[in-house]
Structure 1
Amino acid sequence: MSREQRRAVDEMLRRAPQGFEPLPVERMRAGFAAMMSAFPVPDAVVQTPAELGGRPAILVGPAPDAPARPGTILYFHGGSFALGSPRTAMALTANLVVRTGVRAVSLDYRLAPEHPFPAAIEDGVAAYRNLLDDGEDPAGIVFAGDSAGGGLSVTTCLAARDAGLPVPAGIVAFSPGLDHTRSGATMVTKEGIDPFFTRESMGHTGAMYLAGQDPAQPLLAPAVHADLTGFPPILLQVGTNEVLLDDAVRLARRARDAEVDVILDVTAGVPHVFQAFTGTLDEAGQALDRAALFVTQRLAVTEPAAPAVR
């Protein structure tokens, strides 16, 4: 337990300007990209531009001299559905690839406010359908994502199941956003403890994604309204210093009630998407190791599938 490291990370984050200021989305995107570029990307991967489901993507594979396992991680980046790209999540994506030996395809899904709900989910389902149409076994595909992308890993699975597609082998969600009603108790109890978000700030970007639609529906608030019957096993990783803590807690409860295998993995004293702090925070690498173990245990491909991205 690295309590000193956790305190140091928290103090570093609080040195940034505090308080919420609504900014134009272009400035928010630039600031988010700059912040995420500070997280180191492992060298032992190969990044290749690709296309999946009609959207740009980045194929991230192990280095040629590294062991490779069959299967695919379909990765969804974070950014409140309005910010980010596969590049901003590359540290997390590449760390999963290095630890598992499994290739990942990180999807550049459409962003709000230009493309509000349900555009991102439609892109996720189209990408998954593309993998299946190209011959990949759903038992060899795991969805993963961070923050909004963690939520998207769940809602894409929900939409795919409801469309009659087979579900993937598993879901890994880092600090997922799973409730656009923002009704979790930790939205209040963790305000001031969370160094990144407040209920007000999440409402600002959430409104871009909602575009006036009612958030009280399964694809916008799965932690409150989704029926998870038939879902694959889920790994939810979250920190106690997050206003989104109860999103993961409540989704785990819904998974349990639906007789779905679920691991609720809570780390004390760490911030939103703490897994990105590898090299700075011991708990980050340990959490990624647990996520990698979950991925490799879930994948059941017996033969390498033909590449499905171009």
Structure 2
Amino acid sequence: MQDSPLEDRTVVVTGAARGVGAALARELARRGARLALIGHELGALESLAASLPTPALAVGADVTDGDALERAAVLVRSRLGPPSVVVANAGIAQGGPFALTDMASWRRVIDVNITGSALTASAFLPDLVRTSGYHLQIASLASIAAAPLMSAYCASKAGVEAFAHALRAEVAHQGVAVGIAYLNWTDTDMIRDADRHAVLRELRARMPPPVRSVLPPELVATRLARAVERRRTAVYVPAPLRLVQATRAALPAVIMRRSRRALPRLEAAGQLTPTGLLGAGGLADDVEARRRDLPDGG
């Protein structure tokens, strides 16, 4: 792609092993960016890096490990140069009734999605100040409208939205821009796994048509890449999510009324069960967590 402001710029993407992160990495490389791909699935990141048309670096790091992210930042600077853009994309999800949820899993969603985003910003903020760069926080429809049976995910995405607003106000005078990407259902391993569970499949099916459709990750990546090029404060994918933002104050009451009707039926059918961490990314995170719990770290 000609004349992109991203050409020859270094861009960091966390959670790039698959889904939106991988699609965004490909789209940014197509626009001439050098990519630093960060996550704990090093093999998948290395395969993606090797397939990109521009210089790319795969770095194995858990986003909840601040020391690992600091080391990653040093490596990225030395190999690719200081980043002009950081995309905090890494995230996991689980579903099911809060009362039946394994709290260690619930806390892990919070830790990856909120703490991981903050640690990512912390590790690379000196670079963004140096380059007058742009930080894009990947959020969700769940940041705007909290749904039943997704308490950890909704809490985490509301948290990253608030974090991004606060960070934007702190760093604007330093020339750093901060954007929030509000994404809806995207055709990723996480969403395909969610659709295997009747309760989450029905949750999506009961949404209004504009926001229940599942979008291809390539389309989402194109919209995100444009937002990065233009240093957008907010990007909504699909665009009608902007209308949901405008009505968010009324949403809790609407969601509660619908839940009161739907949940008793689902409970009677035995469909209100915990899902565990969703998708291949959730499985990989669970494997990584088990490795970390071993006495010698694996």
TM-score when scaled to structure 1? Answer: 0.31
Structure 1 or 2: more helix by fraction: 2
Q: Highest Rg: 1 or 2? A: 2
Query: TM-score, normalised to structure 2's length?
Result: 0.32
